[in-house]
Structure 1
Amino acid sequence: MKMKEVISEQQVLILIDLDATHNFISVNLVQKLKLPITRTEAYGVAMGTGDSAKGKGIYKGVTLHLKGINIVEDFSPLGLGSSDVIWEYNGWQHWA
């Protein structure tokens, strides 16, 4: 499911992915928002489309404003297609 929501007062398109194992944020979006990055080793990602991608670093404590609820998550940067964010939704733990 895709929905428009807000990160750092910027409207973004979020793909809520029930099968994702991690959260991802568009490289273009983090450059626009000037989010601070925590360095990590390079990593590889197998996308749901069958493509693979490489990334490096993590953005910690990013707040999603999702339907009036603030959700704080860590996000790995990737070059994403039509979405700004891929959010790994894995149950109601996010709504506590």
Structure 2
Amino acid sequence: MLLLKSATPFAYAKVDKVDAEELRRLKAQYLIHKVLEESMPAARSRLSRPAALTRVKARIGVRLKKLRLAVRGVRVRACRTVQRHLRSLRRLLMQGSGEPAASPS
């Protein structure tokens, strides 16, 4: 337990003895604070990008999204066209033989 001696209520207290548990807690708190202080400049430098660069990146992102959608649409239309041609080709082959294709026996 801490024994505090203070002349006035809001003055610094003189600590007679600090138990081991309290010492470990204070040391851990100090180390956490130190690590957070060291990591702050790195985070701050990442966030300090110019606004123009951020807008350009946003525009590039929008353009890439539109391009992806356009490519997907072209691919879907091409697949539908190929399927339609294959269906019509199959119908032509079936009609050309005069009767449905049967397995040879």
Q: TM-score range by the shorter chain?
A: under 0.3
TM-score by length of 2: 0.15
Q: Which has the higher contact order (CA 8 A, sep 6+)?
A: 1
Which structure is higher in helix share?
Answer: 2
Higher strand proportion:
1
Pick the structure with greater CA Rg: 2
